[in-house]
A and B are shown apart, each in its own frame.
Chain A
């Protein structure tokens, strides 16, 4: 049952990509900034919990909560200090400088701090649900993978419910469609920018904690995670969290299938070539034209 197991593996990694893609695209909607530091928050989540639990000896729930609170506070401070000057100041930064490249600096900064705090070795947060893989016929389900899927469904569902059914979600959508218009009708877009930034940072950290037992993280793992999130968000047209989610799942499954059936060594290379060809062939259908700004 190779196909079935590859599919399970693909959906698991795909749901990780999907969650980071949702984080990137939701915040891009409200801020017009691509958060390329989202993976670094995940790394901090995993390595932070590992450090507090294994090295400092705190109980696991305390370690998790402390880490998430630290991430939230840091995200709040970054918004209050840096993003306020960058976007709300007398001379807001415009164009590609802020859209593409601004959060690189944040990513570098977080990685540097993580190197000082956690060292350079591979670590992972402790498994939250230990035990041997569950089997169903010839299908194998890793427990960590199931946990990732469960988190993805719960968090993704909560996001969807929030955007679809609450006033806050509508306001969020409005500030994404037209920031100035949203401000005119009384929506505080800055507040949403801050709220979503903190929210996505915490969700990313949480996902890092859940995901890390599968892959293991170093202080430099953030960039790779951000990249996968960025790619999946890109194929969702950057502004569409729903499409980003589908794109993330699709990329994950495609990656697993290529690795399993084409070449374990060059599977990723083929994957990236396919993804590049897809953009060049159907830029409009993949939502790129509408996302192009200035």
Chain B
């Protein structure tokens, strides 16, 4: 036993050295939680590894590997896929079969199964992740149901009993003590690695992408996130973590019962995730620990485990939907708040914005009129996607046609929403799009932005046919938009909301973010954009605490942050006061000097005041196309818009 105590002391010393050196350098991204897991886990395994407590701990660590992956996929990115129990089974059964039938070592068969699970997940994921939201959840719910039917009917997998193993996770063999403790330590190291990777990804620029994807897939796509790719990556990540959990489960438990693939395993994992805190990998680990200890306790708790779990989950979620980790975080924040004087500013956002924004408009004007237009500051990903940055450098080129909509039709069922709409816009200027409710204005914007495909017709942008291109590619080419209802990302700061549009991570794989995050670069660019608009002081505010006007300004800042060539604004003035509208108008006119702005708006006075040309849609037909003077005097416009 002595050698293990020495080893434990060494592990502790080494880990705390790592922790302190990291903490000294900078705020670590996921370092601290994984080191805590490593140190605490090693101590528990070395001290209690041979006791019942230790075996319960190792079992919970196996499940924690799965739930940490679920925190990334289901909790943080809200991609609900019920594939965990199946891939847990793939890992566990795979190891059992390779080990007992083919006499492969547990460690090697574990590696083989994790790789195999990754490949299976890639194939399966490329089919199921086409679905979104509830469709994804229900489609993947079939996986455990299908798997159960298969396993219980297959003798090769041990039939209704399960599969035994011949080997152990610890490769060396040796005494029972060594095998138990060595196996436990391997599980702890793998768990720490998974927590490290998960935390690194979530705190990176791709983590911000995933957060937006979780809140609203359409907004994410409009902001350049390659949603199909990210969804597939998340699915594979979740499945690989589940398979890894299954591998170490088989290696440490020595036996794979049929129940591992049961849908109840899926339920148990979800309960762990939600009790621990769905968004936090370390919370998911805590959840797995809590549930396994409750189940392993040999008293009335484990006898009535269902009642205990039901009550515990209900109470925890009622106190904080973010689970135990949320409660702990709130507690820490509360303690900090008590030690420091309250410094939260009163909600005077509108008043703060009023002065700042006028200054911002001037500032923006000054900057925009400068010799070097912000094209130079475009994110690498954005500029890479453009046809040719030089093309827009000269003033003449800017007046050439940028966007062409040719003969676009859109039908929903039998209902015609757009009927033969044709229009063309140059590289700069402000253009209004009006029409009564249901005229097809937002649909036309969606067709240009790419979230709705036209039934027929073409959309040409900068000489390229983009009719069939997905929204994120249009974003790279320089099309940026706001939404009729404010689509900000709740739970994130103003800075992060703007930084979403400055990300250069779209083409990068999720795995690259284990190494280095470029979130700081995106935030720096967002800070500049906010400063240009005179909103720098709002950077750290959480967006849902802001007034509507400020939220619309943040959305506008986000649309501008990517230095778009075409800016689509869907009713930016709705809900604003007259004074706020005038400030907005000033800003829009300034913007139109360098950018093409298409403004959908109900406020006719505002449209006529700022637009150089106005389009009117009615019943899906383009019924008017002309300057503001004609617009005011046109009988068509008057009967359509003023009369109603």
Contacts and interface: CB of A to CB of B under 8 A. Distances in A.
Contacts of A136: none
Contacts of B140: 276
Contacts, number: 130
- Secondary structure at the A interface, as helix, strand, loop or mixed, is helix
B345 interface: no
A231 B80 contact: no
Contact of A107 (B127, B137, B141, B310): B310
B317 A105 contact: yes
Contacts of B78: 95-96
B415 to A, nearest CB: 15
A276 B134 contact: no
A115 B306 CA distance: 9
A288 B314 contact: no
A113 interface: yes
B80 A104 contact: no
Given A111-B306, A283-B135, A273 B313 contact: no
Interface string A276-294: 1001100100101101111
A82 interface: yes
A105 B321 contact: no
B215 A294 contact: yes
B383 interface: no
B7 interface: no
Contacts of B313: 104-105, 108
B305 interface: yes
Contacts of B641: none
Interface string B295-324: 000000000111111110110011001000
Interface residues of B, number: 45
A85 interface: yes
Contacts of A96: 74, 78, 80
B103 interface: no
Nearest to A267: B149
A43 to B, nearest CB: 12
Nearest to A269: B149
B51 to A, nearest CB: 28
A265 B148 CA distance: 12
Contacts of A107: 310
A93 B318 CA distance: 8
A95 B322 CA distance: 12
B160 interface: no
Interface stretch (B263-271, B562-570, B583-591): B263-271
B310 A106 contact: yes
B317 A97 contact: yes
Nearest to B137: A100
A269 B133 contact: no
Contacts of B305: 112
B381 interface: no
Interface in B238-266: 263-264
B145 interface: yes
Contact of A272 (B146, B153, B314): B146
Contacts of B267: 104, 223
B142 interface: yes
Contacts of A288: 131, 133-135, 138
A109 B307 contact: yes
A82 B316 CA distance: 12
A266 interface: yes
Interface string B215-233: 1100000000000000000
Contacts of B53: none
A104 B264 CA distance: 11
B278 interface: yes
A108 B138 contact: no
Contacts of A273: 142, 146
A192 to B, nearest CB: 22
Interface in A62-116: 82, 85-86, 93-98, 100-102, 104-113, 115-116
B145 A97 contact: no
A268 interface: yes
A101 B318 contact: no
Contact of A276 (B142, B304, B310, B311): B142
B145 A268 contact: yes
A294 B305 CA distance: 33
A26 interface: no
B451 interface: no
A134 B478 CA distance: 72
A41 interface: no
Interface in B105-155: 127-128, 130-135, 137-143, 145-146, 149-150, 153
Contacts of B142: 272-273, 275-276
Interface-central residue, A97, A106, A231, A286, by most chain B CB under 10 Å: A97
Interface in A220-243: 223, 227, 231, 234, 238
Enumerate the 3 nearest inter-chain pairs by beta-carbon distance, A residue then B residue, closest first.
A109-B310, A112-B306, A112-B307
Given A82-B314, A105-B271, A231-B141, 13 more contacts: A105-B309, A108-B271, A111-B310, A112-B305, A234-B138, A269-B146, A275-B142, A276-B142, A280-B127, A280-B130, A288-B135, A292-B132, A292-B134
